[in-house]
């Protein structure tokens, strides 16, 4: 943090500022220039920093206070030197050396649909089955999900295929029932800043995937993860699912640059969701390829045996044959990517 003093400030003003900084337990590093004096602030705990910033800001001799360091702690590389790998058991990991594929319908609709999809995605190489039982829909008149019945069907699909299950939690009231069936709890874009919900899942011993809010900055997204981790649950996965911009041709704008950026800032794994990121099945394969190429730790993709009949997100769901095609292509990309990753390790994003 740097305090910039007002033009024409005196040595006495500078001393006043230094006195306050030191009284708060920090070290002051003044730099007296011909025109402007700045005072660098170093040390003490981050929570004290906010307090000092406010105290400096109200001093009449201070022009402005510039914060240099990032506000995240637990999500950052400073807190943990090794990348977070979420181990779901049976050899399924998120954040390890493999590109982890999560695939399945937007919503669980009925037994045949979810079992058929689970068999298809498993045979193609996916490790995790997705499917919403509690659906956040823009309209209250749209299909809201099957609730616990949907969760039971996901569990049935897991028992048959061995796939792990990820499903969305929308409400604190449903924590127990969702935890009973899910291997990973998904927090959707609309709930990324539901701090009460984030704090509650922070108390659980269950992996969480936190989707980026549709208008969230990277800082807000990481601070949302910080809420979960601060309560003790460090098994957090991030998911880029596109942000809202002015274009109407795609449902969202898939922010691919956020993936390597977040990986440079944080040790948490980052998944890409090109289905919600584009909203159009024709764009899902090329954007998924690109996400793998920028180094995503996994891809979440919506797959439906009959997208035309889907109760939600049919237009962005891949048909089984296209999903198989995508899986082959991703294999080719991850093979070449291993060379790049080995090189990146030497650059050391820390």
132 is a site residue for ligand PEP (CB under 6 A): yes
Neighbours of 137 (CB within 10 A): 14
Dist. CA 304–CA 281, nearest whole Å = 11
Q: Which CB sits closer to ligand PEP, 76 or 191?
A: 191
239 is a site residue for Mn ion (CB under 5 A): no
304 is a site residue for ligand PEP (CB under 6 A): no
Dist. CA 124–CA 132, nearest whole Å = 21
Beta bridge pairs of residue 156: none
Q: Which CB sits closer to ligand PEP, 48 or 244?
A: 244
Dist. CA 338–CA 209, nearest whole Å = 25
Dist. CA 191–CA 197, nearest whole Å = 8
166 is a site residue for Mn ion (CB under 5 A): no
By beta carbon distance, the residue nearest ligand PEP is: 188
Total residues binding ligand PEP (CB under 6 A) = 9
Among 40, 125, 136, 147, the residue binding ligand PEP under the rule CB under 6 A is: 136
106 is a site residue for ligand PEP (CB under 6 A): yes
Place of tokens 């105290």: 55
276 is a site residue for ligand PEP (CB under 6 A): yes
Dist. CA 237–CA 219, nearest whole Å = 15
Contact string (CB under 5 A) for Mn ion, positions 67-106, x = contact? ---------------------------------------x
Phi and psi torsions of 137, nearest 5°? -105, 145
Phi and psi torsions of 343, nearest 5°? -70, -40
Work out how close the CB of 276 gets to Mn ion at its nearest, in angstroms, rounded to a whole number: 6
Closest among 172, 170, 166 to 200, alpha carbons compared: 172
- When CB distances are held under 5 to 8 angstroms depending on the partner's kind, the choice from Mn ion, ligand PEP, none that residue 28 binds is none
Dist. CA 314–CA 325, nearest whole Å = 18
Q: Mark the segment that binds ligand PEP (CB under 6 A) among 68-76, 187-195, 228-236, 260-268.
A: 187-195
109 is a site residue for Mn ion (CB under 5 A): no
- DSSP label of 266: B
Q: Which CB sits closer to ligand PEP, 29 or 306?
A: 306
Work out how close the CB of 172 gets to Mn ion at its nearest, in angstroms, rounded to a whole number: 22
Among 109, 240, 273, 313, the residue binding Mn ion under the rule CB under 5 A is: 313
Query: What residues contact 54, with CB distance under 8 A and at least 6 apart?
Result: none
Q: Mark the segment that binds ligand PEP (CB under 6 A) among 80-88, 97-105, 183-191, 342-350.
A: 183-191
Work out how close the CB of 275 gets to Mn ion at its nearest, in angstroms, rounded to a whole number: 6
Beta bridge pairs of residue 128: 102, 164
* Token digits of residue 238: 């991030």
List the interface residues with ligand PEP, window 196-235 (CB under 6 A).
211
Q: Which H or E run includes 203?
A: none
Q: Which H or E run includes 68?
A: none
Q: Mark the segment that binds ligand PEP (CB under 6 A) among 60-68, 188-196, 288-296, 325-333.
A: 188-196
Dist. CA 105–CA 117, nearest whole Å = 7
Contact residues toward Mn ion (CB under 5 A) are 106, 313
Q: Which residues are at the interface with ligand PEP (CB under 6 A)?
A: 106, 132, 136, 188-190, 211, 241, 276
């Amino acid at each position: 943090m740097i305090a910039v003093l007002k033009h024409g400030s005196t040595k006495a003003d500078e001393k006043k500022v230094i006195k306050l900084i030191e009284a708060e337990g920090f070290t002051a590093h003044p730099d007296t220039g011909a025109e402007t004096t700045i005072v660098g602030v170093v040390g003490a705990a981050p929570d004290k920093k906010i307090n000092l910033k406010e105290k400096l800001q109200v001093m009449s001799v201070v022009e402005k206070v510039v914060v240099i360091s990032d506000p995240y702690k637990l999500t950052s590389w400073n807190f943990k030197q090794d990348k977070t790998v979420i181990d779901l058991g049976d050899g399924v990991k998120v954040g390890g050396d493999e590109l982890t594929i999560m695939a399945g319908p937007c919503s669980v609709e009925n037994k045949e649909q979810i079992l058929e999809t689970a068999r298809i995605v498993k045979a193609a190489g996916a490790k995790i089955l997705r499917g919403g039982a509690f659906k956040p829909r823009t309209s209250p008149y749209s299909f809201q999900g099957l609730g616990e019945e949907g969760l039971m069907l996901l569990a049935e699909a897991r028992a048959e295929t061995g796939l792990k299950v990820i499903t969305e939690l929308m409400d604190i009231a449903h924590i127990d029932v969702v935890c009973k069936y899910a291997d990973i709890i998904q927090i959707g874009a609309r709930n990324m800043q539901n701090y009460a919900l984030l704090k509650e899942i922070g108390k659980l011993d269950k992996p969480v995937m936190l989707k980026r809010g549709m208008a969230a900055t990277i800082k807000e997204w990481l601070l949302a993860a910080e809420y979960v981790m601060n309560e003790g649950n460090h098994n957090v996965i991030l998911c880029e699912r596109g942000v809202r911009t002015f274009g109407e041709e795609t449902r969202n704008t898939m922010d691919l640059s956020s993936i390597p950026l977040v990986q440079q800032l944080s040790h948490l794994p980052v998944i890409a969701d090109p289905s919600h990121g584009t909203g159009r099945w024709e764009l899902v394969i090329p954007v998924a390829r690109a996400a793998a190429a920028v180094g995503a730790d996994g891809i979440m993709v919506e797959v439906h045996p009959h997208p035309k009949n889907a109760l939600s997100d049919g237009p962005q769901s891949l048909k089984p044959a296209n999903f198989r095609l995508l899986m082959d292509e991703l294999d080719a990309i991850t093979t070449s990517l291993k060379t790049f990753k080995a090189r990146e390790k030497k650059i050391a994003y820390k």
